[in-house]
Structure 1
Amino acid sequence: MTIHDVSPSFWLSALGEPRAARPALPGDRSVDVAIVGAGYTGLWTAYYLARADPSLRVAVLEARYAGFGASGRNGGWCSGLFPVPVGALARRHGRDQAVAMHRALARTVDEVGRAAAAEGIDCDFAKGGTVALARSAAQLRRAEAEAAEAREYGLDVTLLDAAAARERCGAAGVVGGTFSPDCAALQPAALARGLAAAVERRGVTIYEGTRALRLARGSVVTDHGTVRADVVVRALEGYTAALAGHRRALAPVYSLMIATEPLPDEVWQRIGLARRETFTDHRHLIVYGQRTADDRLAFGGRGAPYHFGSRVRTAYDREPAVFAALRRALTDLFGIDPPLAYRWGGPLGIPRDWMPSVGLADGLGWAGGYVGDGVAAANLAGRTLADLITGTDSERTRLPWTGHRSRGWEPEPLRWLGINAALRGTALRDAWEIARR
C-alpha cells in the first residue's frame, strides 16, 4: 500500500476540495492592527479583536496561506498543557500565579470548543482527556511525581494503576499512568480553515502570499508593500527566525507525524481510546497520538534534528529515520504493524527558557513559543492580546506569561551543537530505560 508523503499535512489533504487563494496585499495600506501570521495565534487575536471592537480595521498578513504552518500540521491536541511545570512556575512567580496560569489553559480547552461550535466550524472536537502511560519503573516514578505535584497545587491530574490505564489505552507493557480531562482531540487544519473564514465574516482582511520582511513600531514591510498600523503583532511561531532581527528569538525544532489507514473495529476494541482520548507516555523524547474521527491512529514525536542557522525548509518536513522510529514506537505501543497512509512534519517554536509568552509594548505585540502545545495556548494568547490592544484589564493580562521576555538562543554554532546534543541525549536516556525494562 502506498504511503503518501504529504505536504504540508494529512489534515490539510483530508479537507479535500481545493481552497481558493486569498489575494496578496495590493500595495501600501493603513490599518489599526496588523497581524503577521495566519495561524492560530494570529487568527484568534483577530477573532477576539473583531468581537471586542467591530470598528477596528484589522489585517492579517500571511506568507503562504492560512493554516500553512503548525496550525495545520500538529497532532490535534487541544490541551491544557503548559511546558513549564506548575512547581517550577510557582518558584518563579508564586503559587497563585502558577495555578492561575494552568487553570486558565484548562478552561481554554472548553473555550475553543465553544467558539468552534458558535462559528459552525466542524473540526471533530472531542473532549476525551489525555492519558499518559507509564511503561517502565522509571516512567511510573515520573507519573507518580506528576500526579503528586498536581495534587499539591489542586490541579486535575489522576494517577492510574495499570488496569485503569489499560482500560483507557490498551498499550503493551503498561504499569500505570496519569489522566487529565483537560484535552480534546480535533482536526487541526479544519479548525484553522474555519477560523480564517470566521474572522473574514467579522470584517478582518487576510492577505495571503504576502511575506513580512521587517517589523517596526507602526509598520510592517512586506514583499508587496508596507502596512502602517497603530499596533503590529508578531504571530509566526516556528517561522519567527526567518524575520529580520529575530534569528535567535525562537528555535524552529521539527516534529514529525504518521497516520495509519482506518483501523477495523476489532483493533479498536483492543486499543480502546473509546472517547478519543489523546495519548502519550512518560518517556523523555515526546510522542503523542490520537484516534481520528475516521478511526486512524495519528501519531507523532520529536527527534528530528535542529538545522544550522535556524533554517526552515520544506525538505526538512521529511526525515526517513524519524518516520521509521515513529512506526517502531507505534508497533511497540500496541503490538500491531498497521498499514501507514501518510507522513508529514513541520517546525514548532521553542524559546530558550521553554516559557511561552504574550505581550504588548510600544505598539508591538507578540505571542508564541508554545513548545508544541499551542492549540489551546494560542486561543488564550489571542484573547490576551485582544485585551492588551483594547486596553481591557482582565485576569488574562495578569497571568505570568504576559509580558515575559525569554533571552535569545546562543549564536551559532553553539545553538546547533546544544540543541542537537540535547535531542541526542534525551533519546539515549529513553534507550537506556528501555534496555533496563
Structure 2
Amino acid sequence: MSFWLDSLGPIGKRPALPGDRDADVAIVGGGYTGLWTAYHLAKARPGLRVVVLEAEYCGFGASGRNGGWASGLFPVSEQKLTRKYGAPAAAAMRAALEGAVDEVGRTAAAEGIDCDYAKGGVISLIRTPGQLRRGRGQAGFLDADAARAVCDATGVLGGLYSAHCAALHPAKLVRGLAETVERLGVTVHEGTRALRIASGEVVTDHGTIRAGTVVRALEAYTARLPGHHRDLAPIYSLMIATEPLPPEVWERIGLRRRETFTDERRMIIYGQRTADDRLAFGGRGAPYHFGSRVRPDFDRVPAVFGKLRHTLGELFGIEVPVAYRWGGPLGIPRDWMPSVGLRDGLAWAGGYVGDGVAASNLAGRTLADLILGRESELTGLPWVDHRSRRWEPEPVRWLGINGGLRGTALLDALDR
C-alpha cells in the first residue's frame, strides 16, 4: 500500500453490485477519471442515473499511489501538437491543462476535500553541462543561484520553473471525490470487476449493468479487458517516502512553497515535499512485463527501490530514512497521446503517461460535455476523439519497450 493510502487508515469497501441493474451512464473505474466524470455529470444533470464500478476500492490504482503532482504537463510537446493540429489548437490544449491545475484546487476547496493542495509550481533542476546546453533559452530558465533558492540540490547549474503545478495528497483527493459523488446521488459499487464492456452494457462478476453510455476509465488496467490488451501499455512507476525530515534539513533543501521537483535527465524522476515534511520520490525504470501483464508482485522491485534511495540521497546529499516503498502501473498509448472520446455509446479517457492528476479533471469535464451532447471549448480540443495506433504484438512490444528503457538509461549515463 502507498504511503498516501496508509496515512488514511483502514479502507473499507462499498457494497458490490447486487445484480443486474439499469443506468443512464455506467462508468468502469473508480479512479480520478471515472470520479471526475461522475462528479461533473451529477452537477450538470441532477437525477441522472450514474453508476461507478470499481474492481477493488476507489483509489486502488494510480489515483491512490501517484506522485501527487497536479500539473499542466502534457506528454506530447506543443510543437508536435502545432504541426498536427495548428497553433491555436495546441495553445488551447496547453491553456486547458494549465487551467485544470487550478480547477482541481477550486473544486477540492468547494467540496470540502482537504487534500493538502499547495500550488508552488514545479522546478526541473539542471545538473550536467549537457542539460545546461539544452535548457538555456527555454521558457522559465533559471540560473544556478535562482534554482538553488527554490531547491538547493547538489551540483545545480540551473533550472526550469513553471508555476502550473500543485502538490497534493492523491489518496485524500480520490477518496474525497468518491464521498462527494455519492453525496450528489451517484451510486458507487466497489469489489465489482468488469469482465466485458460493450455498447449499452457492462458485464461484471456480480451482474450486468445496462446503460445508455458506458465509460471506460481504467488507465493501465485497460490491458486486462478482452480485446483491449494492446490499447495501453502498463508501465510501472515506483516510489519511496522518507520519515518526516527535521527543520534544519528543510532549511537547507528549501521547497518552502512545496514546489514539486524533478531534473532534466531522460529517465523520469519526480518528487514533492509532503504536508508532513517527508520527501515522496519516484521514478521510472522498472521493466515492462511480457503480454502487458499486471500483477501485485510487480509493484515491488528491490533494485529499483535501491536506485531511488541512492538517487534521492545523491540529489540532496542526505542519508535517506525510507519509511515506505510502493509502485504500480500507469497507462501509455503507442504515440504517447492521451485521449478522450465518445463513439456509439462507448466513451473513454486516459493514456496520461503519468501526468493524469490534472488531466483527468479536464477529461472528466470533457466527457460530461460529450455525454450530455453539449458543444464547448473542451469538446474541440485536439485530444478529443484521438485514436492512438495499437501497440505491436508480442514479443515486439516487450523488446521495444524494454529496449527503450535501457536506451534512456544509457543516454543519461553518457550525459553524466
For Structure 1 versus Structure 2, the TM-score category normalised by the shorter chain is over 0.9
Q: Report the Cα offset of residue 143 of structure 1.
A: 2.2
Q: Which residue of 2 aligns with 1:282?
A: 264
1:203-231 deviations in Å (ceiling 9; x for gaps): 00011010001110000011111100000
| Aligned-partner Cα distance in 1 for 2:193–2:248 | 48
From 276, 281, 293, the equivalent of 1:311 is 293
1:373 maps to 2:366: no
Extract structure 1 runs of 4+ deviating beyond 2 A: 141-145
Q: Which residue of 2 aligns with 1:184?
A: 166
From 219, 230, 236, the equivalent of 1:248 is 230
From 204, 213, 219, the equivalent of 1:222 is 204
Q: Which residue of 2 aligns with 1:340?
A: 322
Query: What SS does the aligned partner of 1:59 have?
Result: strand
Q: Report the Cα offset of residue 332 of structure 1.
A: 1.3
1:175 maps to 2:157: yes
Query: What SS does the aligned partner of 1:431 have?
Result: helix
Q: Report the Cα offset of residue 88 of structure 1.
A: 1.0
Matches within 5 A, 1:396-435: 396-434=378-416
| Aligned-partner Cα distance in 1 for 2:269–2:339 | 24
Q: Report the Cα offset of residue 144 of structure 1.
A: 2.8
Identical amino acids, percent of aligned pairs: 72
Q: Which residue of 2 aligns with 1:134?
A: 126
Q: Which residue of 2 aligns with 1:300?
A: 282
Query: What SS does the aligned partner of 2:136 have?
Result: helix
From 362, 365, 368, the equivalent of 1:383 is 365
From 327, 330, 342, the equivalent of 1:360 is 342
- 1:125–1:186: 8 Å Cα contact kept in structure 2? yes
| Aligned-partner Cα distance in 1 for 2:16–2:247 | 46
Q: Which residue of 2 aligns with 1:235?
A: 217
- 1:142–1:282: 8 Å Cα contact kept in structure 2? no
Query: What SS does the aligned partner of 2:58 have?
Result: coil
Q: Report the Cα offset of residue 138 of structure 1.
A: 1.4
Q: Which residue of 2 aligns with 1:166?
A: 148
Q: What is the identity, as a one-letter code, of the residue corresponding to 1:224?
A: H
Query: What SS does the aligned partner of 1:259 have?
Result: strand
Instruction: Give the TM-score normalised by the residue count of structure 1.
Output: 0.94
Q: Which residue of 2 aligns with 1:11?
A: 4
From 45, 64, 79, the equivalent of 2:37 is 45
Q: Which residue of 2 aligns with 1:196?
A: 178
Q: Which residue of 2 aligns with 1:70?
A: 62
Matches within 5 A, 1:151-162: 157-162=139-144
Question: In the comparison of the two structures, how many residue pairs are matched?
Answer: 416
| Aligned-partner Cα distance in 2 for 1:393–1:376 | 21
1:305-344 deviations in Å (ceiling 9; x for gaps): 0000000010000000100111111111111112110000
Query: What SS does the aligned partner of 2:368 have?
Result: helix
Q: Which residue of 2 aligns with 1:151?
A: none
Query: What SS does the aligned partner of 1:177 have?
Result: strand
Q: Report the Cα offset of residue 71 of structure 1.
A: 0.1
Q: Which residue of 2 aligns with 1:82?
A: 74
| Aligned-partner Cα distance in 1 for 2:289–2:355 | 21
Q: What 5-or-longer segments of structure 1 have no aligned partner?
A: 1-6, 148-156
Q: Which residue of 1 aligns with 2:88?
A: 96
| Aligned-partner Cα distance in 2 for 1:225–1:121 | 32
1:289-318 deviations in Å (ceiling 9; x for gaps): 000000000000000000000000100000
Q: Report the Cα offset of residue 142 of structure 1.
A: 2.8
Instruction: Give the TM-score normalised by the residue count of structure 2.
Output: 0.99
Q: Report the Cα offset of residue 20 of structure 1.
A: 2.9
